[in-house]
Structure 1
Amino acid sequence: MFDWDDLKHFLAVARHGSTTAAGRALNTDQSTVQRRITRLEQRIGQPLVERHPSGYRLTAYGQQLLPHAQLVEQHMLALQNVVQSSARELNGVIRLTCPEPIVSRITGSGLLERLSARHPGLRVEFVMSDHYVDLGKGEADVAFRSGDTVDNALIGRKIADSLWAVYGGREYLARHGSPQRLEDLAQHAWIGFDASMAKHRATQWLHDVAPHARVVATSGSVLGAVHSVKANVGLGALPKALGDAEPDLVRVLGPIPELTRSWRMLTTRQLRRTPRVQAFFAFMASEMDTLRPILTG
């Protein structure tokens, strides 16, 4: 029936007794106040103010309407306070997707405890996957992701480089020897990724450099490949952050330049504007010295 902004100008005139004073209170000009009052009167169908030599006074109907308008104002201010308070408190869950091995490194780093100390209302919920979950469909809010990102709907920042190398278990290498060059790779048993990761860069790289390599086991996750290489089943291309951390593994080649990609922190354009995601990005930016070795080793 009417616009809250029009009602706001009516209340200002009722309080200050003139359109000039009302304009100063609302940080606008006198003509705008008059125009808003006129529009409100047209929508209601009755005059609300009348001009006198000493200024403006409310009509009888304006006096009748005034307490109801004041009640609307109280509710609007209360609503505004709730919205602003919610933004300040930054309550909510950040659903963070990243590969499973990264989760234990994050939880053991003290990052989450410091995030909670800075923003007590924020809580991180992990969505663990070696596959890219769809942020646009709401499957997660923020991603720590390595690899090629071609989704223009996502924005974020680079954290570090993701380095990969070739590893073997100590017992496997004692039995079969260590490859000295790329040409030697075809002579070894290999741990690969299954069909769900057919487009992974490590799968494509092995096919390019050793198309006849003997794949003796496959896994649907990087962590599964690490376990298979540790079990001395064969060689495997693994993230340097994971391979170098395993005392039972030996790095035999690399890092491999063709497997290097960027680690990025990503979200959607819409979520990036929300207070909770803004706060999470700002916190992680301040913790880069901790975050980089978590992702890169």
Structure 2
Amino acid sequence: MSASPSAAPSADQLLVLLAVARTGRFTTAAQALGLTHTTVSRNIAALETALGGRLLLRGADGWALTPLGERAARAAEGVAAALERLTEGEGPTDPVTGVVRMTTTDGFAALIAAPAVAALREEHPHLTVEIVTLTRRAALHRTGVDIEVVVGTPQVNRGRSLRLGEYELGLYGSRSYLSRHGTPRSAAEAAEHGLVYFVDSMLQVDDLDLPRRLLPGMRDALTSTNVFVHVEATRAGAGLGILPCFVADRHPDLVRLLPEEVRDRLPYHAVVDPESWRRPAVAALLDELRRQMARQRGALEGLGVSQ
């Protein structure tokens, strides 16, 4: 049960909380703010007393915000933005400002999110986007993250889901590899080659099980949690890779194999925290991500590549 609020929270306490929320660590936040670990702890404790409840919970990846902590962090972002405007002089207020935190896959982060953020910052230079890359299903309890971009259709208990677009997975081999080992003419022949793909024991997304469904018996040659390792390993000839077409088709030394037999179309969904939906910066980034997905598809179709 929460205690009754006492003294009003201070701007300094809110900024300390914001630093901990962004880094997940008291020590890292202390270094960023030029404070000691003890001072950071004391500010967090005072803020919890002022607001009448816990703001942080220890998680596997560091400190995470509670629902009360999320509200306090939003207020802290407003304080930080106001201070930034004060130091830079008065002018028209841009609502698309502050820090938006998102998680997504490696390929989406590099080829969709990065150009989307670059385009958005041309009009909104006070926007900051923090991206953490991972491949997993949507978290049941998300703290400290505004947008989760996931593969497949998420089961959302808290938050809202928005479809951003879809992409295709295909089977690829490098030209040099195929000249040495031959080009498979069927799924059965492809299964005789080594596979470059995700580490099966660490794969959390059921929708990414294409090799098990369409190429049963294909043995692992090289596995990794990073899609760009898949691409470079396939280009180097480690085996045949199951790759996102929007990533692989950028490389002329890769050949798509058996496109009618070995293929899968998967959606990208954004799962958004309920309070984040009300932030103009989050809404603007979501719109730009959808536009960037459309541009990506248009660019590949312009090159004669089917997506």
TM beyond 0.5: yes
| 1:185 to partner: Cα distance | 2.2
| 1:214 to partner: Cα distance | 2.2
CA RMSD of aligned residues (A): 3.3
| 1:237 to partner: Cα distance | 0.9
| 1:251 to partner: Cα distance | 0.4
Does the alignment pair 1:190 with 2:195? yes
Check 1:135–1:272 CA distance in 2 against 1; reply closer, same or farther (3 A cut): farther
Q: Decide which of 91, 98, 102 is 2:108's aligned counterpart.
A: 102
**Alignment partner, residue 238 of structure 1:** 243
Task: Give, in whole Å, the separation in 1 of the partners of 2:251 and 2:139.
Answer: 31
**Alignment partner, residue 97 of structure 2:** 91
For the pair shown, the structure with the greater C-alpha radius of gyration is 1
| 1:284 to partner: Cα distance | 4.5
Task: Give, in whole Å, the separation in 1 of the partners of 2:183 and 2:158.
Answer: 44
**Alignment partner, residue 156 of structure 2:** 151
| 1:285 to partner: Cα distance | 5.3
Task: Give, in whole Å, the separation in 2 of the partners of 1:156 and 1:188.
Answer: 38
Check 1:123–1:255 CA distance in 2 against 1; reply closer, same or farther (3 A cut): farther
Amino acid at match of 2:107: P
Q: % of aligned pairs identical? A: 26
Within-5 A mapping of 1:176-215: 176-194=181-199, 195-197=201-203, 199-202=205-208, 204-215=209-220
Query: Could you report, residue by residue, the CA deviation over 1:142-188 in whole angstroms, capped at 9, with x for unpaired residues?
Result: 13332231224342432222101100111211122112222222221
Amino acid at match of 2:239: G
Q: Secondary structure at the match of 1:260?
A: strand
TM-score by length of 1: 0.60
TM-score by length of 2: 0.58
Q: Secondary structure at the match of 2:136?
A: coil
Amino acid at match of 1:242: V
Does the alignment pair 1:290 with 2:295? yes
Does the alignment pair 1:219 with 2:224? yes
Query: Structure 2: which 5+ runs fail to align?
Result: 1-77, 83-92, 301-305
| 1:107 to partner: Cα distance | 7.0
Task: Give, in whole Å, the separation in 2 of the partners of 1:218 and 1:210.
Answer: 16
Amino acid at match of 1:144: V
How many residues are aligned here? 213
| 1:232 to partner: Cα distance | 0.3
